[in-house]
Amino acid sequence: MATDVLVPTLGESITEATLGQWLKQPGEAVKADEPIASLETDKVSVEVPAPVAGVMGELVVAEGATVEVGAVIARIAAGAEAPTAATPAVENRTAVGQAEAAAPPEPAAAPAAYGNHGEAEEGGEGGGSPTLSPSVRRAVLESRVDPSRIKGTGKDGRITKDDVLLAAKAGQAEARVAAPAASAPQASTSSTSAVSDGRKEERVRMSRLRQTVARRLKEAQNTAAMLTTFNDVDMTAVMEARSKYKDLFEKKHGVRLGFMGFFVKAACMALRDVPSVNGSIEGEEIVYHDYADISVAVSAPNGLVVPVIRDAQTMSVAEIEKTIGDFGKRAKDGTLKMDEMKGGTFTISNGGVFGSLMSTPIINPPQSGVLGLHRIEERPVVRDGQVVVRPMMYLALSYDHRLIDGREAVTFLVSLKNAIEDPTRLLIDL
């Protein structure tokens, strides 16, 4: 008897998704609640768990196809043995997988099978193979290491992306494997064509997340009267405080002391002083918020995502750092929840971690402001009539000029600058 696998409820107002990847193939044993597929929605990737234990049967939907909530995407056969006439597996290649398949395989021992989320089964019985999350699978394909030889450090012994990267750095050449071969034709997400002079072009279908980001950014440009104002900030005091207390901070709170905690705290104070930057326009009304839900841009395998720190104005620097660290880790693992990405009254985006010197960030509607942070760079500045070298950072505030005047934008940045250059203000609420 076969059990249908249905697309789960994906969240408020979300009715469809794209089937990003099959994590299990026909004939493979699955446990109840084990992830068997990943879905890409407008905001995050969602794993589809197996409703029952059994053996993967027919894959009804191909990777890259759009599916609606409640639709049947696969079937699981009860029992311990594979079905005698299993439907051929749908081709299980992402753009990365295709690139690997096109490359000449390196000499290796018999390649171990792998999937997408867990740890290798010990012993030779059952022919079990580890399953990995989408981000971990991508890391495995890129580094070409054998996941069955990696000891997972994640929950329940699951392999994490960091485990894969450490294994690759350790030079486990003997564990390298070729990318999985295609099983059957499917709706291709990537194609390569040759140009007349021998050069090649590759066309890759945009993910649903990237399509949504593109649409929302363009809507923001078309709707808001966007303007960007700049300032710079001397990071000397914050860097000295961080250097002095980082070890004690990590020992006490279990998280590293970064710069984002200071900036989020300073931004909350500046938002209180200039409430229009924390407001939004709804129709012909202006909505002012007496709370600060700060959206922070973090990097995920499929692009930037923006989870929200709720009521950041009530949190300590340590609580902010813990929250951001948790967001970053789960963004890489693809386990952020949709509710964690909703709302937000103001956004902070740190392009400095990628080396950006200056930028004009785009606001995230219906928000009216976004703060862009950039790299810290030593520059000559004048202090008390003397030219000295200081670690400086450019700040950029993009805002909706329909709601925020230039005077308010500049006042916000100056308030933020004062708090960062004199962190004592954060303690005594000045």
Q: What is the set of active-site residues?
A: 401, 405
- Among 252, 278, 260, 277, which Cα is nearest to 407's? 277
DSSP 117: B
Q: What angle do CA 221, 227, 232 make, to 5 degrees?
A: 130
**Pairing relation of β-strands 45-49 and 35-40?**
antiparallel
- Among 372, 316, 318, which Cα is nearest to 346's? 372
Alpha helices for 170-228 (secondary structure H): 208-223
* Alpha carbon distance 304, 302 (integer Å): 7
* Alpha carbon distance 114, 137 (integer Å): 9
Place of tokens 């997988």: 97
Alpha helices for 179-302 (secondary structure H): 208-223, 236-253, 260-273
* Alpha carbon distance 413, 125 (integer Å): 63
Contacts of 215 (CB under 8 A, 6+ apart): none
3-state SS assignment for residue 237: helix
